[in-house]
Amino acid sequence: MTKSSIKTYLMIPLSLTLFLASSTVLADEVTSTQSVTESTSESKTSSTSAATEIKTSQSSATTVTSATTEADTGVSEMTQSQTSSQSATSSTASQTSTESLASTSSGLNQSTSSNSALTPRTLRSAVTTSSSQPVTSTSLDSGGIRIQYNGDLTANEKIQFAVWSELDDQNDLRWYTANNLGAAYAEFKNHRTYGKYFVHTYANRNGKMVGLNASSIIVANPQVKTTIQKTSDTSFDVLISNVPETVTNLVVPVWSQKNNQDDIVWYKAVQTGTSSYKVSVDTKNHRSDLGHYEAHIYGYSKVTQSQIGLAASSGFDAVDSRPNALVSIGNYKENSKTFDVNVVGSSATKTITGVSIAVWSEENGQDDLKWYAPQISNNQASAKIDIANHSNTFGNYIIHVYTDYSDSTKVGTNLGTYKFSPYSVSADQTAQGISLKFDSVLSFDKTQIRFAVWSANKDQDDLKWYSADSKGEAIAPYTNHSGYGTYYIHTYQSKDGKMIPLNGKTLTIAQPELKTAISKTGDNTYLLNMTNVPLYISEVLVPVWTDNKGQDDIRWYGATKVGDTAYQVTIQAKNHQFETGHYSVHVYGKSQLEGNRTIGLATTAGFNVTSVKVANPSVQVTNHNPSQGTLDVVVSESADTKAIKTVKVAVWSESNQSNLYWYETSTVVNGKATIAVNQINHKGIVGNYTIHVYTTTQDNQESGYNAGTYRLESKTLQTLPAYFIDISSHNGNITVEEFNRLKQQGIVGVVVKLTEGTSYINPFAKAQIANAQAAGIKVSAYHYSHYTSAGEAQAEAQYFVRAAKNHGLSSATVMVNDMEESKMLSNINSNVQAWQDEMKRLGYGNVIHYTMASWLDIRGGQVSTSQFGIRNFWIAHYVNGYTYLDQASAKAYAYYNNAAAWQYTSVSKKLTNNLDENIDYTGRFTI
């Protein structure tokens, strides 16, 4: 039988090794289709029975077979030597003697030892049974041998069975006592071997052992079969069949023949039928090695109580049938002195493992031959060839490319002959430092270029060396040097451990000589223009103050860069209490040549303010929506107004001011204070509303303004505020009955989480929407946002709208932008604007923005309520923390009643699990 290579390659666990040793199963005797326990052995001669080694059958018979032999052969007496070598591990006092049922020549004789089973000799039964039944029947199951005595049971006798395996004489002999039905069970774990088992039956009659029957049964070695099917270019299924029920927990070690077993993976087989299993192998788990793969089968034997080898399959071959990569020349010009050799593969070509490029000139044979080995990335490799590496020889060049692939093939490509037919250093100031560039028609390995840079000031105390990149470029940061004036730049080529000088030049870095100009641009506004600002200045700062009272009003302005060497600053008199007189203006900057220290750049003549013109702030009513009963009062500063401290707004419609409500804010964002007026705060009365505005400036000056009369006529506000919940997949499937219970508790709206990012859809959304609508509850939808750029915001909006359409939500649905991820805070307003604009472009413009109160500018955050309108915000703020706040208390608190809604708790107990509960001020979520 052909030996497999398990012993050579397979790493066998110690416990399995011990089993193989004890069972004479040789690892190197495994074939591709037969049991790994297959072996041959010579017959052993014995006075009792031959102990056979474990063998596998070539037949297709079932793995476990049985054969029962009636006690119709004579039973010979056991010799004293057999008694000692074949004794059972234990015996009872009643087994001390046996009584013969028949004559010595034809019956079952007494044993000479109470611990030993008798060996069959005659064909005559010692008991009477049905002609169709043996004295003792035996059969197998997954756990052991079932033994049944078929004779009549009498009150004064006890039936006992001696059971042992043929292997290793009687070292596993066990006695089993039949129950009142004559049955006993010999578990495999008491014997732990395959092969032939002997079962001798005795009757213990008043302490005498009488032999009744001798039979045997075969516990066959497993004969599993394997088939391997290819399911894709990289996937294979190992199909295992004919697995006996005595074998469980099949595992399949798989490895490629490349590099021994360094990629071995043990796969757990999945049972697919009563006696069949499957393992799916992906060569990606084996570093995508190509070539032949070995697959062996192991399982846990209930017979041996250990893991055993079952089979060595024929294995499988992973081959690469894809075409080779494309090899070509790129960026070739006859007078360029450089070119590229490109080896371009893709997922559709073979996988490149190595590239070697041989380049030499035709002149003088191959005396300038050079090999290139570019790195491989994304199945591609590219090498830039420079004739400087070939003695700067001009003329015809020959290029050969050798490509190694993962399937162990090597392909040579002759790219043919290319003709090449013959250097400068530039140094320029940039904002980052001195930009150095080496260029030459004589091709060099530009990474060999070294620049030595130092200032003439204090000799070479600031000398620094810089290595060029592959383009011959480098930056000498200003912070590495000090001093103004002349800078020396020397260029070298580092080759073969030597520094070859190539070029020397100088650069002058002048001290700052700014030019400044101040002009009046408004009644109270002045513009400082600064030009000729050195590139080594990283930041420009402008302190401004009035001569009156020293520098009590000094203010540092950060200049805005408007060109490479140009900056501007706008100076407003309002920042200096609108004082008149002379204003001093100095210019400072952070010099990279002085370690970013702030240095003086210029002292201007300043400017004189002879008079100021202080204007009143602008008071406007915007976003007037009579049918919704809302409007905004916006008080705006300008360069000519004093800074606002607080704004109060009195609004009423009744002649006796019975519905008068005072609004107040001290939040000023970008010079604007916004107050949202809502009819709900005025008892919901329909009528013409008078609006008076009162402002207090930072110097405590108060002013009043009549903003006019505006009609508010919302008919639905009589039912507001109303209450709604928001849910996600965490809430699971809420039934129609549960939604009806919520309605009975005052919940008339629900906001369902629909999407998140660009890849998640709430799996419960369809049912949640349908059940809420069936209960008559208004449905809105929210999207959990992640975007950090305008492009991502637009993509998430598109994903949200597609899902809304797929869930049957109309374009009138309230669509919520849920902002909770802290990574969104950078550029949040511009990104939210991009999201909102895209939603409107897609036809779903009824948008609301949800976030925590701390994110809003009115609470010190970054989200602009003026940009998007406070009435378009749904604000989360748990005033009771994680203690439930009831609806009546929430209504009494009336937090953020100028917004669309307020989420006041996340621990509502209106259903079994906690719910987020919200108050709706505008009806958008509930009406």
Whether residue 21 is contained in a domain is answered as yes
Instruction: Give the separation between CA 607 and CA 610, rounded to whole angstroms.
Output: 10
Same domain for 264 and 396, yes or no, is no
Beta strands in 478-596 (DSSP E): 485-495, 498-509, 515-522, 525-531, 537-546, 555-558, 560-563, 566-572, 581-591
Residue that the structure tokens 């080898």 belong to:
309
pTM of the model: 0.38
Among 53-57, 498-502, 607-611, 778-782, the range scoring the smallest mean pLDDT is 53-57
Same domain for 435 and 454, yes or no, is yes
Same domain for 341 and 386, yes or no, is yes
CATH of the domain at 688: 2.60.40.2550
Q: What are 81-95's pLDDT values in tens digits?
A: 333 333 333 333 333
Q: What is the mean pLDDT of the chain?
A: 84
Whether the CB-CB separation of 792 and 759 falls below 8 Å is answered with no
Same domain for 13 and 139, yes or no, is no
Among 172-176, 443-447, 733-737, 745-749, the range scoring the smallest mean pLDDT is 443-447
Q: Answer yes or no: is pLDDT of 678 > 50.
A: yes
Whether the CB-CB separation of 29 and 20 falls below 8 Å is answered with no
Predicted local confidence at residue 342, as pLDDT: 97
Whether residue 397 is contained in a domain is answered as yes
Q: Answer yes or no: is pLDDT of 523 > 60.
A: yes
3-state class (DSSP) for residue 802: helix
Mean pLDDT of 857-878: 94
Q: What are 560-599's pLDDT values in tens digits?
A: 999 999 999 999 999 998 999 999 999 999 999 998 999 9
Whether residue 927 is contained in a domain is answered as no
Whether residue 916 is contained in a domain is answered as yes
**At 441, is the pLDDT very low, low, confident or very high (cuts 50, 70, 90)?**
low
Whether residue 443 is contained in a domain is answered as yes
Q: 661 or 726: whose pLDDT is higher?
A: 726
Same domain for 665 and 741, yes or no, is no
Q: Answer yes or no: is pLDDT of 872 > 90.
A: yes
Q: Answer yes or no: is pLDDT of 745 > 50.
A: yes
**At 290, is the pLDDT very low, low, confident or very high (cuts 50, 70, 90)?**
confident
Query: How remote is the C-alpha of 802 from its chain's centroid?
Result: 25
Q: What are 359-404's pLDDT values in tens digits?
A: 999 988 899 999 999 999 999 999 999 988 988 787 899 999 999 9
Whether residue 58 is contained in a domain is answered as no
Q: Answer yes or no: is pLDDT of 717 > 70.
A: no
CATH of the domain at 547: 2.60.40.3760
Same domain for 439 and 370, yes or no, is no
Q: 294 or 548: whose pLDDT is higher?
A: 294
Predicted local confidence at residue 34, as pLDDT: 31
Predicted local confidence at residue 129, as pLDDT: 53
In Å, how far are 371, 475, 507, 510 from 461, measured between CA atoms? Answer: 41, 19, 17, 19
Whether residue 389 is contained in a domain is answered as yes
Instruction: Give the separation between CA 849 and CA 900, rounded to whole angstroms.
Output: 9
Among 102-116, 616-630, 650-664, the range scoring the smallest mean pLDDT is 102-116
Work out the burial of residue 319: count CB atoms within 10 Å of its CB; fewer than 13 is exposed, 13-18 middle, 19 or more buried.
exposed
Among 551-560, 714-723, 813-822, 872-881, the range scoring the smallest mean pLDDT is 714-723
Among 14-28, 323-337, 502-516, 755-769, the range scoring the smallest mean pLDDT is 14-28
Q: How many domains does the chain have?
A: 7
Q: Of 272, 285, 304, whose CA–CA distance to 36 is shortest?
A: 304
Same domain for 892 and 745, yes or no, is yes
Same domain for 876 and 845, yes or no, is yes
Same domain for 100 and 147, yes or no, is yes
Q: What are 784-839's pLDDT values in tens digits?
A: 999 999 999 999 999 999 999 999 999 989 999 999 999 999 999 999 999 999 99
Predicted local confidence at residue 334, as pLDDT: 72
Whether the CB-CB separation of 594 and 479 falls below 8 Å is answered with no
End-to-end CA distance of the chain: 84
Which of 154, 185, 219 is the last residue before a domain boundary? 219
Predicted local confidence at residue 552, as pLDDT: 87
Q: What are 55-64's pLDDT values in tens digits?
A: 223 223 233 3
Phi, psi values for residue 252, rounded to 5°? -130, 105
Predicted local confidence at residue 90, as pLDDT: 31
Which of 716, 739, 768 is the last residue before a domain boundary? 716
In Å, how far are 89, 124, 519, 544, 856 from 524, measured between CA atoms? Answer: 113, 132, 11, 14, 32
Q: Answer yes or no: is pLDDT of 457 > 60.
A: yes
Same domain for 758 and 901, yes or no, is yes
**At 443, is the pLDDT very low, low, confident or very high (cuts 50, 70, 90)?**
low
Work out the burial of residue 149: count CB atoms within 10 Å of its CB; fewer than 13 is exposed, 13-18 middle, 19 or more buried.
buried
Same domain for 208 and 294, yes or no, is no
Q: Where in the sequence is the domain holding 484, given as residue range(s)?
A: 429-509
Predicted local confidence at residue 421, as pLDDT: 64
Whether residue 32 is contained in a domain is answered as yes
Same domain for 501 and 534, yes or no, is no
**At 105, is the pLDDT very low, low, confident or very high (cuts 50, 70, 90)?**
very low
Residue that the structure tokens 């070294």 belong to:
450
Which of 574, 609, 644 is the last residue before a domain boundary? 609
**At 736, is the pLDDT very low, low, confident or very high (cuts 50, 70, 90)?**
very high
Q: What is the DSSP string of 123-147?
A: E--SS---TTS-SEEEEE-SSEEEE
Q: Answer yes or no: is pLDDT of 765 > 80.
A: yes
Predicted local confidence at residue 131, as pLDDT: 54
3-state class (DSSP) for residue 316: strand
